[in-house]
Amino acid sequence: MSTRNKLYFASDFHLGAPGYASSREREDRLVRWLDMIKADAAEVFLMGDLFDFWFEYKTVVPKGYIRFLGKIAELADAGIKIYLFKGNHDMWMFDYFTKEFGAVIISNELVIARSGKMFYLHHGDGLGPGDHMYKLLKKIFRSRLCQWFFARIHPNLGVGIANYWSAHSRIANKDKNELMPEHQEWLIRFSHELLKTRFYDYLVFGHRHKPLDIPLNEKSRYINLGEWVNYSPYAEFDGQELKLKYFEKPIVASV
């Protein structure tokens, strides 16, 4: 019998985008990955933008994704701890996943210690210098007042508006998502600043869509989990080292 002793990290599945067919193919790939890790996973950290849009009405959730959600429930029922981070595309997670399979919902950062290693975990949106407009929008969208107003909209209209916004947001931010030189990448700069006040072995993010593993100093590393539309990356911690790996699509980005 295998021992459940590993931590797994992944981010930015963007289920639902850009269309049904490609999203379903990606969902099947995710299910195969979850099947692969369920034998030895102790904890699974899914670090934001799992869905291209998500909003939990009181009695309604977006349709679809049943294979992915069913597999997550299967892992949870097997005793694997599930952490779901709010990303900029699915920040409107409330208590549905907690009630259904006991997931821990992370709104911002999570700091954990495992096997003597310190981890700083965050989806990555709204960190570092600049991008003041998004930081303002994030505060508005996360406000209870904004959520209350959106919940008053019929789901057909609300989800339609959100999908339109999401599609145009991706187009508008295409250039912004291109990798910059290492000294200009804002999550790397944020990580360096964070290390001035506290030591971490690993600083793990999503959001930037490019899988990266970069030494920040002799002991600390910056890990970006990339996205599953093009790369299918994940990180695995075996109790000694965190490694960036690829599932079925071994493609590496570089700065």
Give the integer Cα–Cα distance in Å for 33 and 130. Answer: 36
Mean pLDDT of 47-70: 87
Rounded CA gap, 140 and 65, in Å?
27
3-class secondary-structure state, position 156: helix
Q: Provide φ and ψ at 24, rounded to 5°.
A: -65, -40
pLDDT band, very low/low/confident/very high, at 58 (cuts 50, 70, 90):
confident
Q: What is the DSSP letter of 248?
A: S
pTM for this predicted structure: 0.86
Give CA–CA dist 39/68, Å, rounded.
17
The reported pLDDT for the residue numbered 172 is 40
- What is the distance between the alpha carbons of residues 36 and 133, in angstroms, rounded to a whole number? 40
- Judge contact between 216 and 188, C-beta under 8 A: yes
CA dihedral for 192, 193, 194, 198, sign (positive or negative)? positive
Measured CA to CA, the distance from residue 73 to residue 76 in angstroms comes to 5
Place of tokens 């349709």: 63
Query: To the nearest whole percent, how much of the chain has pLDDT over 90?
Result: 56
**How many Å apart are CA 28 and CA 234, to the nearest integer?**
16
- Could you give the domains of the chain? 6-246 (3.60.21.10)
Average pLDDT in the chain: 85
Q: Are 55 and 162 in contact (CB under 8 A)?
A: yes
Q: Which two tokens stand for residue 203?
A: 């600083």
Strand pairing class (117-122; 104-106)? unpaired
pLDDT in tens, 127-158: 866 666 656 666 666 667 766 676 677 777 76
> ∠ CA(12), CA(109), CA(194), 5° rounding?
110
Instruction: Name which residue leads in pLDDT, 5 or 62.
Output: 5
pLDDT in tens, 106-127: 998 999 999 999 999 999 987 8
Whether the pLDDT of residue 175 is over 50: the answer is no
